[in-house]
Structure 1
Amino acid sequence: MARKKSFAIFGANYFGLSVAQTLDEKKQLIKIFDYDEERLNLHINQFESVEGIVLDATNKNALEKNGISQYDGVIVCFGGNMESSILTVLNLIDLGVENIIVKARDERHKRILLALGLEEDKVIIPDVITGKMVATKSLFDIESEVQSIDNEYVFTSITVYEEDIIDKSIFDAGLISNKDFNIIQIKRNGKTILPDEYTILKEGDILGVYAKNNVVNDLVLKIRGEQEIEE
């Protein structure tokens, strides 16, 4: 079993709390830092195992005393306050933190963070990502959950309902991985399966598929068929 990783999250706002909730569900070790004690106390009780610490992240000494360089990942979530965000990132870099992910307010904020040495994929503008997902999703003729995208590919979940492929292997169903798509995983009865070409597909299997945008509609029809999704 892979070891738990430790994460420091700066900012008890909606974005930071959403990140914390996802990591908590994955049984990771999490601490949320925020300078506003009242706000921190208001939200920390929704978690069973997440610790909250009152701290000003622009204070490098305070970060050092809390062993910030020992975390596997540090996520800076208060993108709305650009000055605090930049000062926090500078402090983290000075203290030798290697895995830093930052929420940026806009492209200007992102350019500054990149100039500080952060990698492109470590700077997140949530509104831009959401906009891309909505735009990509609008291309699909059949409703399908979009989880992440890049310029050409999408990662999405498609549930097996099409009778023609139920109880067939991935090979026999004509769903062998190729340059256009790849079935990454299958979720079945609460368990995750890493499939190969001999894996048998069952009704209700949720396939995690990484595919080119232009083949998603065809995959949805092949895997889910004309099944209507209840609102």
Structure 2
Amino acid sequence: MAKRQLAVIGLGQFGRGVTDTLIQQGHDVLVIDKKERLVSDYQAIATHAVVADTTEENVLKRLGLTNFDYVIVAIGEDIQASILTTLILKDMGVKNVWVKAINKNHSKILSRIGADYIIQPEKDIAKRLVNQLLNNHIMDFIELSDDYSIVEIKVSKQLFNRSIENIDLRGLYGLSLIGIRHEGQVDINPSPHYLIEPKDVLIVLGRNKEIQKFKKVEVYDEFTLKTKR
């Protein structure tokens, strides 16, 4: 894979995920965010890390982004900042501007102002998920948005021989069980009476904070389980 020069604007969960992947693949990466605490995390690992407000045209021009192979606008919920940043980049003559869209209206506006590729995490990941499930494979972690993800969770000893119904992911944590990986195969519609086995892996969808909560509490005992109910 050829080494490329890329910039990532916005270091929310999506932006960090993109940045980490690009760095792991050996590309030169410039990261930009207006929050110093987020930028500081990448001072030692990104090629360059800059604290800047990308809605200011003079700031973007000083960064020399017209020389980059790709600029990825991964700004989170601030739609106005996302649109303005994209507009300035295209007016500057940046050739490849990829932008994360929050919703359909955001996507339409980005298209009209010249974004070269619009990233729609929920839509894009749904296609990948279906393809991987059909081939009995799924990623360890899939980000659907800044708040939602799909993850694989290895079961703990405390879950062995418990039924899906008994674990009650939806009732206790608001999580959806997409499937169970068992002996190399993925069952995408397990029976609620299925008993968890030692090497099983749960494929779960839900809010990131609830997923983390489940991971921390998945070693609960019977008393804790009853208390939470």
TM-score range, shorter chain: 0.5 to 0.7
Structure 2 unaligned segments of length 5 or more: list them. Answer: 141-181, 186-198, 202-229
Structure 1 unaligned segments of length 5 or more: list them. Answer: 148-225
Q: 1:135 to 1:5 in 2, by over 3 A?
A: closer
Say what the alpha-carbon RMSD is for the aligned residues: 2.6
Give the secondary-structure state (helix, strand or coil) at the position aligned to 1:78: coil
Cα distance, 1:134 vs structure 2: 3.3
The whole-number CA distance in structure 2 between the counterparts of 1:93 and 1:128 is 25
| % identical aligned pairs | 29
Q: How many matched pairs?
A: 147
- 1:41-60 alignment to 2 at 5 Å? 41=40, 43-44=41-42, 48-60=45-57
Cα distance, 1:110 vs structure 2: 0.5
Match of 1:145 in 2: 138
Out of 113, 118, 125, the position equivalent to 1:123 is 118
- 8 Å CA contact 2:10–2:76 kept in 1: the answer is no
The whole-number CA distance in structure 1 between the counterparts of 2:56 and 2:70 is 19
- Residue 78 of structure 2 is aligned to residue 85 of structure 1: no
- Residue 61 of structure 2 is aligned to residue 105 of structure 1: no
Match of 1:159 in 2: none
Any idea what the Cα deviations from partners look like across 1:29-78, whole Å, max 9, x if unmatched?
Answer: 0010001112222x325x63442100110001011011111111100001
The whole-number CA distance in structure 2 between the counterparts of 1:37 and 1:144 is 38
Give the secondary-structure state (helix, strand or coil) at the position aligned to 1:145: coil
Match of 1:228 in 2: 184
TM-score of the pair, normalised by structure 1: 0.57
Cα distance, 1:19 vs structure 2: 0.7
Any idea what the Cα deviations from partners look like across 1:146-174, whole Å, max 9, x if unmatched?
Answer: 79xxxxxxxxxxxxxxxxxxxxxxxxxxx
Give the secondary-structure state (helix, strand or coil) at the position aligned to 2:80: helix
Amino acid at match of 1:143: N
